[in-house]
Amino acid sequence: LPVPFLQRCLQLLLLPVHLLACLGLWDSFYKKIFPYVMAKVAPIYSRKVYKQKQELFSNLGKFAGSSGQLTLLEIGTGTGTNFQFYPAGCRLTCTDPNPNFRKFLLKSLSENRHLKLEGLVVASGEELHQIPDGTVDVVVCTLVLCSVADIKKVLMEVLRVLRPGGAFYFLEHVAADYSSWTYFWQKVCDPVWKYFGDGCSLSRETQKELEKTNFSELNLRRFHVTPYWIPASPHIIGYAVK
């Protein structure tokens, strides 16, 4: 009972935003300013998870194809905060459904000359039809599955574009333990959190979706980002092999 009550209280506090969302006006407005918000927030977050990302991406090279060059597709590239972790000579294709990220993405590419850009694609993770079947060594997706419309469809697209033996790397905030106060506040904040996170959900059970997907191998662990009391603190990180 407290959850619906507190949800209504938050919606009342953010009534103008809630009304704009109901009228279909908030999304178009927020998609224009969201890249500017992320350009400020992403570096702060990246410093918090630097060691985890460094460890996660340390074995990317082992999935390179016979040419020795790694072909990598990043879903929801955003401002390009992962570029620094990719190996030299990596052939990179970037996708994001929000074209307003472009100038921030190009800036990050200019600071990471060790990468070879193959293409910039404006597309959601559910609709990667511009990427041919089985042509990618690695797919990377960080802090994206929390906001996609259909996780299952995104993971099916990941399997489609990966070559046999290719890998899917992920880092996502997820639902906390059901009995925890964190989960309670995740459920309370969920209806309004999406307004400021471009559709982001705090209580997605992404691990279960990964476990149900037909990967041959799944390497996954949980960790928390400080401060531990924030509703987006529980994370999963790892990679899955096709």
What is the C-alpha radius of gyration for the chain, rounded to an integer number of angstroms?
A: 18
Q: Is the pLDDT of residue 1 over 80?
A: no
Residue pLDDT, tens place only, 98-152: 999 999 999 999 999 999 999 999 999 999 999 999 999 999 999 999 999 999 9
Q: How far apart are CA 168 and CA 86, in angstroms?
A: 14
Residue pLDDT, tens place only, 9-23: 998 999 999 899 888
Residue pLDDT, tens place only, 153-188: 999 999 999 999 999 999 999 999 999 999 999 999
Instruction: Report residue 62: phi and psi, to 5°.
Output: -70, -15
State the number of CA atoms in the 13 A half-sphere of 50 facing the CB.
5
SS3 165: strand
The first and second tokens of residue 78, run together, are 């955003």
Which pLDDT score, from 0 to 100, does residue 11 have?
A: 87
SS3 182: helix
Residue pLDDT, tens place only, 60-80: 999 998 888 999 999 999 999
| Per-residue exposure over 110-126, b if at least 16 CB sit within 10 Å of its own CB, e if not | eebeebeeeebbeebbb
| Full set of structural domains in the chain with CATH | 1-241 (3.40.50.150)
The first and second tokens of residue 77, run together, are 């590239």
**pLDDT averaged over the chain?**
95
The first and second tokens of residue 37, run together, are 């918000």
- Strand 136-142 and strand 162-173: the pairing is parallel
Instruction: Report residue 33: phi and psi, to 5°.
Output: -95, -15
